[in-house]
Amino acid sequence: KHSEDSTIMKARLKGAQTGRNLLKKKADALSMRFRQILRKIIETKTKMGEVMREAAFSLAEAKFAAGDFSTTIIQNVNKAQVKVRAKKDNVAGVTLPVFEHYQEGGDSYELTGLARGGEQLSRLKRNYARAVELLVELASLQTSFVTLDEAIKITNRRVNAIEHVIIPRIDRTLTYIITELDEREREEFYRLKKIQEKKKQLRARTELEIAERLAKLGPIAEPVNMLTEEADEDLLFE
């Protein structure tokens, strides 16, 4: 029974090692993507800084041309024309949320009767629309980043658990089983030897006894023929 157990344990050990190796590969793949995303975030944030500067500049220009329209804009908010949708991306089995921007409805500021500065205003809108696109992309990178961060931490925790808890445990059990098996084998062997010893001694003693008895009976060492015997010994009433 114990030899079966050792087979089972060996299989479990193999399983745990395979599991650990797979998880390590997953952690590596995730880390690589993580670093890629980090680089892209830094790159995009820098670009975003430039885009925002340009947009802010065009705002100043538009104000110069059209007067201060901020209040009008702020007080005429109604429905958003630009929204985002969350979509799913996947890397090494981890689902990453990403944003996709889309248009909905027309330009609600079309009717802002700003007679002056129409061109600057158009440029302003375009600049901020572009900024929004870039920012949506940045937001996607960020959400992926945060999600990957968590996923990597969890995966590494699992690798450590397998390496420092599960595998040693299986190892110890396996060692115990094998030691037991060895011990049993030795005990069996010892027992068999003891039995053989005893048998030999018994045989030797028996042979000795037979030899002594034969010697006592004298030189006649032939078996008695029942048919030639004259008087039957009365066995019962002697």
Partner 1 sequence: MAGRGKLIAVIGDEDTCTGFLLGGIGELNKNRKPNFLVVEKDTSITEIEETFKSFLARNDIGIILINQFIAEMIRHAIDAHMQSIPAVLEIPSKEHPYDASKDSILRRAKDEFESVV
Q: What is the DSSP letter of 230?
A: S
For residues 96 and 88, is the Cβ–Cβ distance under 8 A?
A: yes
Nearer to partner 1, 115 or 236 (CB): 115
- For residue 156, the minimal CB distance to partner 1 (Å) is 9
The three-class DSSP label of residue 91 is: strand
Nearer to partner 1, 74 or 211 (CB): 74
Q: Does 29 bind partner 1 (CB under 8 A)?
A: no
Cα first-last separation, the chain:
61
Output 15 or 49, the one with its CB closest to partner 1.
49
Segment interacting with partner 1 (CB under 8 A) among 75-83, 161-169, 187-195, 211-219: 75-83
| Cβ count within 10 A of residue 96 | 20
Quick check: 70 binds partner 1 (CB under 8 A)? yes
Binding mask 133-172 for partner 1 (x = CB under 8 A): --xx-xxx-xxxxxx-x-----------------------
Evaluate whether 131 touches 101 at the Cβ level (below 8 Å): no
- Which residues in the 100-139 window bind partner 1 by CB under 8 A? 100, 102-104, 107-109, 121, 124-125, 127-129, 131-132, 135-136, 138-139
CA–CA gap between residue 9 and residue 166 (Å, rounded):
12
- Give the whole-angstrom CA distance, residue 140 versus residue 135: 9
Q: Which of 123, 121, 19 is nearest to 70 (CA)?
A: 121
Cβ neighbours of residue 177 closer than 8 Å, sequence gap 6 or more: 2, 5, 6, 9
Closest among 146, 139, 150, 128 to 44, alpha carbons compared: 139
Count of other CB atoms within 10 angstroms of residue 105: 11
Q: How far is the CB of 32 from partner 1 (least distance, A)?
A: 11
Choosing from 13, 29, 65, 84, the residue that interacts with partner 1 (CB under 8 A) is 84
6 binds partner 1 per the rule CB under 8 A: no
Least distance to partner 1, CB of residue 166, Å:
24
| Residues engaged in binding partner 1 (CB under 8 A) | 31, 34-35, 38, 41-42, 45, 48-49, 52-53, 55-56, 59-60, 69-70, 73-74, 77-88, 97, 99-100, 102-104, 107-109, 121, 124-125, 127-129, 131-132, 135-136, 138-140, 142-147, 149
